[in-house]
């Protein structure tokens, strides 16, 4: 790969720029790829490598980005590489549209699915249910619960419209409710 990358850059400056991106973003990119690939380290490595190749091929685009924009661009590139890999492996989910829903407060009694996530002590079983969700829903749940971003911030970081994020959050909750019911974590009478 080193020979491939060396031949990819037109100048020493471009090579240094890529090395800076690699040093600044590799840990976050690899971690994100690992989450998107459900903990499969080999697939995460493939996704991360593909993302770095894509970044290297589009290096001029990164020259004008500040550190925060570069980080978001790197993670979006990982997501795109993961989606492409899953599409190639025929594991890419069919897109389903859903109506908008206001943003709920987890653990406040307003939403049984989010309350189950906040109140139950069976974290591993819940995490397993979330890992079974399609990537486009998993990433929003991760940013919402782990990074504690609100839906507007998620939309900004993923460069999606707020409506798209709300629809995916809502549809993801519905799918998660089904998984939680299958796992016996959520009562059948609750949606």
The residue count of the chain comes to 191
Phi and psi torsions of 136, nearest 5°: -65, -25
Nearest 10 degrees: Cα torsion 120, 173, 28, 8: 160
Are 76 and 133 in a shared domain? Answer: no
Residue 47: per-residue pLDDT: 92
Q: Are residues 39 and 77 in the same domain?
A: yes
| Domain end marker among 26, 54, 88 | 88
124 and 171 assigned to the same domain? yes
Which residue shows structure tokens 């987890």? 106
DSSP string, 164-189: HHHHHHHHHHHHHHHHHHHTTSS-TT
Please name the residues in contact with 3: beta carbons below 8 A apart, sequence gap of 6 or more.
none
Predicted local distance difference test score (pLDDT) of residue 98 = 40
Return the pLDDT at 107. 46
pTM score, whole prediction: 0.47
Domain boundary among 37, 55, 88: 88
Q: Which residues of 5-24 are buried (b: 16+ CB within 10 A; e: fewer)?
A: eeeebeeeeebebbeebeee
What is the CB neighbour count within 10 angstroms for residue 136?
19
- Residue 89 is classified by DSSP as T
Q: 187 in a domain, yes or no?
A: no
Considering the domain architecture, whether residues 63 and 140 belong to the same structural domain is answered as no
- Domain hosting 142: range is 112-182
For residue 134, the domain's CATH number is: 1.10.10.10
Tokens at 21, concatenated = 């991106």
Has residue 101 been placed in a domain? no
pLDDT of the chain, 191 residues: tens digit per residue: 444 555 556 677 878 888 888 888 889 899 989 888 888 898 899 999 999 888 888 888 887 778 878 888 888 899 889 888 887 765 444 333 344 444 444 444 456 665 555 554 455 667 777 778 888 888 888 777 766 778 888 888 788 888 999 999 999 889 888 887 887 777 766 54
Angle at 45 between CA 10 and CA 156, to 5 degrees: 75
- What is the domain count for the chain? 2
């Amino acid at each position: 790969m080193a020979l491939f990358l060396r031949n990819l850059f037109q100048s020493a400056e471009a090579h240094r720029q890529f090395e800076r991106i690699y040093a600044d973003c590799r840990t976050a990119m690899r971690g994100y790829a690992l989450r998107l690939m459900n903990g499969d380290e080999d697939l995460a490595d493939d996704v991360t490598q593909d993302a770095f190749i894509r970044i290297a091929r589009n290096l001029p685009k990164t020259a004008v980005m500040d550190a925060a924009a570069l980080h978001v661009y790197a993670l979006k590139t990982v997501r795109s590489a993961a989606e492409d890999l899953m599409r190639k492996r025929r594991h890419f989910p069919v897109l389903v549209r859903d109506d908008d829903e206001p943003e709920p407060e987890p653990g406040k009694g307003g939403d049984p699915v989010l309350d189950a996530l906040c109140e139950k002590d069976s974290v591993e079983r819940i995490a397993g249910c979330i890992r079974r969700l399609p990537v486009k829903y998993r990433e929003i749940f991760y940013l919402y619960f782990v990074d504690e971003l609100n839906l507007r911030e998620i939309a900004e970081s993923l460069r999606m419209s707020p409506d798209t994020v709300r629809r995916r959050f809502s549809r993801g909750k519905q799918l998660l409710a089904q998984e939680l019911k299958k796992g016996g974590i959520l009562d059948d009478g609750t949606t």
